[in-house]
Amino acid sequence: MPGRVRPRRSVLYMPGSNARALEKARSLPADGLILDLEDAVTPDAKASARDQVRAAIGAGGYAPREVILRVNGLATPWGHADLEAAATAGADAVLLPKVESGDAVRQALAVLDGAGGPGDLPLWCMMETPRATLRAEEIAQASPRVAALVMGTSDLAQELHAAHTALRLPMITALGLCLLAARAHGLAILDGVYLDLQDEKGFAASCRQGAELGFDGKTLIHPKQIEAANRAFAPDEEEIARARRIIAAHEAAAREGKGVVVVDGRLVENLHVAEARRQVQLAEIIAAQSG
């Protein structure tokens, strides 16, 4: 739920119609898995994919990976049945595509609750249109159960008539607005996918940019992208060591009645200590899950 520190460095889309992929996902080192009933599934396979994903989640074996079920939108022929199935599937969260208003959030939650879903089942929202971006705060605060925003940068670029540039300058405004909304309301936020699987340097650069902007992690389209995303969105050994020095120095200063302290030549205040504690906690959770 909102505010919880949880690794989401790498969140991989897996087609719900592909039984082999759903099985392989149980052994992948991704922090999260989006079992997809939407874009990755053809219309004639929607119903069978829905049943297959429910069975896969019910069979278990995905922990400690976070399992998110992406449904089709309510405006489609499959959306209502998807949400009813998702309500009791046992996923950690439900991902709603092309969210453009707070009403869309509330409508989806009403279907989930009406189908007997847990009252605290989190909803993640895809942000992939100009209208969604302009209403990012409305969406973020539509319900306490909105737990994450997920950037759909491919759809967004298409609707903006924007180019896919290395620095993503055409969509920086949209990324920034969604980041602001997520952080203002204590939500997680994930960066969009990188489509060129052959461009490893470009992908690494995109991950670095996402981490620098403040995203918690990146959505992925192939397992080969997991390692680079995990590396980019986690504090490295040097950052962890510095975070521990900051915490220790601040605690020592507090015992002496001092409000500020200098660490490695830099002034440290309470806000720096809070971020240092977050980094250490994140690193410890990652180590525990990896070990």
pLDDT 10s digits, 102-139: 999 999 999 999 999 999 999 999 999 999 999 999 99
Q: So what's the pLDDT on residue 265?
A: 86
Q: Which two tokens stand for residue 2?
A: 């909102």
Q: So what's the pLDDT on residue 2?
A: 37
* Residue from 111, 174, 120 nearest 143 by CA: 120
Q: How many residues does the chain have?
A: 291
Give the Cβ contact number of residue 74 at 10 Å. 18
Percent of the chain with pLDDT over 70: 98
Residue stretches of the chain with pLDDT short of 70: 1-4, 291
Q: Which two tokens stand for residue 220?
A: 């992925």
Q: What is the pLDDT of residues 235-269, one digit of tens each?
A: 999 999 999 999 998 888 888 888 778 888 888 88
Q: Determine the Cα–Cα distance for residues 242 and 222; give it in Å rounded to an integer.
A: 33
- Tokens 């709603």 sit on residue: 96
Q: So what's the pLDDT on residue 266?
A: 87
Q: So what's the pLDDT on residue 152?
A: 97
Whether the pTM exceeds 0.75: the reply is yes
Q: So what's the pLDDT on residue 5?
A: 80
Helix, coil or strand: residue 31: coil
Q: What is the CATH number of domain 10-232?
A: 3.20.20.60
